[in-house]
Amino acid sequence: MLTRNTLDHHPAQAQFFAELDGSDTCNACGIAGHGNAPVLDLCRRLVAAGFDPATPLKVYRGEILCLTVRSIGEGARLEINGEGSGFRPLRQPDAASPMRFGGSQ
């Protein structure tokens, strides 16, 4: 029987359970998310590993449920906004403008 403490994904299981470790690590299914938004990083890593993006994620700190993510696919597309008071769509790195080297063409 799978319980909340079983951090492995099972095909019959309708959601993931993750554990926050400190302030910058979140673990589920043998995958760890890191950084200032470890749950969102974990969502990106789970999707990249091939898990179903529609799967919900429940995040615990010890025995306390502290966060529910509607789907890992949705979490993978978010980042903390610049004010630290909410979320915004994940921005992709900007491309640099073309540069010319040398003085002649």
Residue 70 pLDDT: 95
Tens digits of per-residue pLDDT, 48-66? 999 999 999 999 999 999 9
Tens digits of per-residue pLDDT, 3-47? 444 444 445 457 899 999 999 999 999 999 999 999 999 999 999
Task: List the beta bridge partners of residue 79.
Answer: 88
Residue 93 pLDDT: 62
- In whole angstroms, give the CA distance from residue 8 to residue 94: 36
Strands 16-21 and 57-61, sheet pairing: parallel
Its pTM stands at 0.73
Residue 27 pLDDT: 96
- Going through the chain in order, the beta strands assigned E by DSSP cover 16-21, 25-28, 31-34, 57-61, 64-69, 78-80, 87-89
Residue 95 pLDDT: 55
